[in-house]
Structure 1
Amino acid sequence: MNFDHSEQTLELLARLQRFMDTYIAPREQEQHDWVTDPARVWQPWPGLEELKEKARAEGLWNLFLPKEYGDLSPGLSNLEYAPLCEIMGRIPWSAEVFNCSAPDTGNMEVLAKYGNAEQQEQWLKPLMDGEIRSAYLMTEPQVASSDATNIETEIKSDGDDYVINGRKWWISGIMDPRCKVLLLMGKTDPDAPRHQQQSTVIIPRDTPGIHIVRNLTVFGSLNSPGGEAELRLENVRIPKRNLILGEGCGFEIAQGRLGPGRIHHCMRSIGQAQRSLEIMARRVENRVAFGRKLSEQSSIRQDIARSFCDIEQARLLTLKAADRMDKYGNKDAKDLIAAIKVVAPQMAQNVTDRAIQAHGGMGVSDDTPIAHFFTLNRFVRIADGPDEVHMSQLGKMKIQEYND
């Protein structure tokens, strides 16, 4: 494994960091104040489009899409994208500036990998151009959706159409007025073999029968403008041409979608942990208690040293997973993807917790981004599969491997 950055990556890193320092960091507070204003709920921050135009003009656009997608991709490998994603993670909303934010990234990968020409022209192109946003509908309130085979939403054939009925929740991005397309996973054949019962379909957002049951808060936040919501789908009718890949391919598509998404989460978590450590180091060097700088306290130094070690370990594991994905494919790298999905968010939660403690009361406020990073990574430990599912599958794989 050679983790030295390529010349292309080094050049992109310099350009991306310069863009972050010049255009995004100075407006971080402005964006925060807008999206947390109750009077502006579900209204995108106006400054975003201006920044997106600048990023696209500078060639910092769609960097996430793996190179195997040809002309749709800027040609980066997962290993090359990792440090770029980490930088974006330091200011979480910045990923959208570069058209690299979830859930759009996963949906674009699905359409690029599994969609037909018509679907790509109608939906992938405007997503790649940043003209619209999207949502992914998998999780359901009635069943443990960490086991995707539990999904109950019905996709029933009716002539040239499908009719969809069911409930979904924790649907990120659905409240954003720019959300124009939904990718839904449901059951087309409950009598088929377990992993062939599900299918994935495309639903235009304005299709009749899509009802918002309620908005869901995460640690008290609505996460405007995208938010999370519970939905009721009532006789939602779509043409059969909106089926992706084929009936019974939904589980395969979901697994293909979640692999890259999981490692992207980890890359961003590492960026948030690294920034928290840097903020913590500056804070303790400039804070005096009981006649001594906090930075002179042994316990503080140990927290900083431990945090540095934790971040470096997680970063190396992420790079190893990305390298394996590039060389041998997502399936062969599934053990490392599972491992880093367990390790990185927990690591970031631990590092941010230490940084909060070093800041005292300031640490739990919005005066720094650390408290947000803490809650965000607690959420990520559930998103795209909870820790327990990844550990169970990883343990099963290793038991089988070591007994061959």
Structure 2
Amino acid sequence: MPLDHPLNSLGLPKPPSETRVVVAMSGGVDSSVVAAQLAEEGYDVVGVTLQLYDHGAALAKKGACCAGIDIHDARRVAEEMGFPHYVLDYENIFQDAVIDEFADSYLAGATPVPCIRCNERVKFKDLLQTARDLDADCMATGHYIQRKQGQNGPELHCATDANRDQSYFLFSTTPEQLEFLRFPLGHLPSKDATRELAAKYGLSVADKPDSQDICFVPNGNYAAVIEKLRPGAAEPGEIVHADGRVLGTHNGVIHYTIGQRRGLGIGGLSDPLYVVKLDVDKKHVVVGPKEMLSTRNVPVREINWLGDEPFDSRAEWQVSVKVRSTRPPREAVIRPLSPTTAEVELLSPEDGISPGQACVFYETEGSRILGGGWIWRGEG
């Protein structure tokens, strides 16, 4: 690009009026504020909302993104701010890229994170390509994460507001995608600041509650969704102590997660027991004392590396890692086994690490995200 024009607020060397931005609009307050702010700054904004799953079922469900009510809300914001808005039917793509794997990995005893796969395989892949097809200069989203220009190109950094930071769900963003993506909310001090902007722009969604659920899992009932997707999946089996004793029965491995303590239905025992392993082949829910959940060694694969040097150029990396979205980063050593696999050693053990969760890498000092990968078996 020619640099005879000063950089605009999105870091591009042309006036906003000549800069087309596709905004991924979920219908929530965050992406709506991004679209409204860029429209007010004079950018050529195009709003795009993805219909990801059955529209009829979605209409009856509030509190999840990309449902019928949310499509309506996104369209209304576009009308209020005077920019075009399109709804794209991505149901088949979403089914193939996200929902099917979610069901299969759950059946295999893992605890998947479909929101990461959706960002990786749908929003930042197919939607991003659609944005390029629309001749956009960049694509903006309402995620709470920061993109900063580093010596070797754009870097991914945590949001200013640690309580809103979404870096755990965006670790698989590639350097090529990062060139094209923008995250205008990442620097805001709080969610209240976002809602204040929504009120300033007079948006109808200013007071809309945040979505809490995975969009296709109403009320967080994973097992009900799995049974619907994979009839017969909830086969009964035994609850077995790690020492081999049979303690009871269950109605399906899919109803349990690693680290679970409540709802096991095996009362009357002196010491509390936790789910320490799910043996899908034997249909066993294996339980044991809390110390059996403690893990220091975490095998990770499908690694997306965002550091400046090649991942396997060193024998080890001193980093901090998150092994669950709700936990703070812990100091760790990563030992690469290949460009996309590694053993991660936590300096202090963590409880309840589960296959299917992400392991996200951070600088030990600073806010930069160095990438991450997927935990694939839970050996302690």
When normalised by structure 2's length, the TM-score is: 0.27
Higher strand share: 2
Higher helix share: 1
When normalised by structure 1's length, the TM-score is: 0.26
